[in-house]
Chains A and B, each alone.
Chain A
Amino acid sequence: SAVISQKPSRDICQRGTSLTIQCQVDSQVTMMFWYRQQPGQSLTLIATANQGSEATYESGFVIDKFPISRPNLTFSTLTVSNMSPEDSSIYLCSVEDRSKGYEKLFFGSGTQLSVL
């Protein structure tokens, strides 16, 4: 099973600043995803991080606000830009594993972001 390391685990940031979240996987994976979980809510998909090309964003999320990098098959970053208090959420990195002949997702432990 894939082991995901996500950094930072939590941060408190000032309005108007940006934060970059890192996701490192211990094996090469094709599909990587970024989710957001607002307080008391379910998970919402932000984007699919594509290796070697631009990320695919879901409705309501744009590249200028959430730029994503995917330089190789084991690493991705999500930046939350020009933050406001509404961006306070847990951000989760996820990877798809097909090593057992079926697809399942593994999740990092998340980044708890608070914006003041």
Chain B
Amino acid sequence: DAKTTQPTSMDCAEGRAANLPCNHSTISGNEYVYWYRQIHSQGPQYIIHGLKNNETNEMASLIITEDRKSSTLILPHATLRDTAVYYCIAWYSGNTPLVFGKGTRLSVIA
């Protein structure tokens, strides 16, 4: 799996959009970009994933650059409950397990 690089931590004001960047310059053609988050004392939770098109669901939006070397997860209106560690992972299943990096610790501030 390709290695990803994320900032260690970020702050965001409550009600504002949280934009979490991720670099995955060595991503291969069949690897998807997955985002998970882990709220304190819970198991990781799937957020969204994409291959090359931008994606949106009820939780977030995912913007992937045309060259697929980076992406941004957008939480449009961050709340205090969005405070968590966010993991960006480049992954192609093929029966290979998911490998987590260090992630970004997002703190949403009132």
A interface residues with partner B (beta carbon < 8 Å): 4, 31, 33, 35, 42-45, 48, 92, 94, 96, 102-110
Chain B contact surface mostly: loop
| B43 A33 Cβ-Cβ under 8 A | no
| A42 B87 Cβ-Cβ under 8 A | yes
| A45 B99 Cβ-Cβ under 8 A | yes
Chain A contact surface mostly: strand
| A96 B101 Cβ-Cβ under 8 A | no
| B93 A42 Cβ-Cβ under 8 A | no
A-B contact count (CB 8 A): 44
Interface residues on B, range: 20 to 34
Given A104-B49, A105-B98: A43 and B44 within 8 A (CB)? yes
Within 8 Å CB of A31, what residues of B?
Answer: 95, 97
Give the residue name and chain of the A residue nearest to B91 (CB): A103
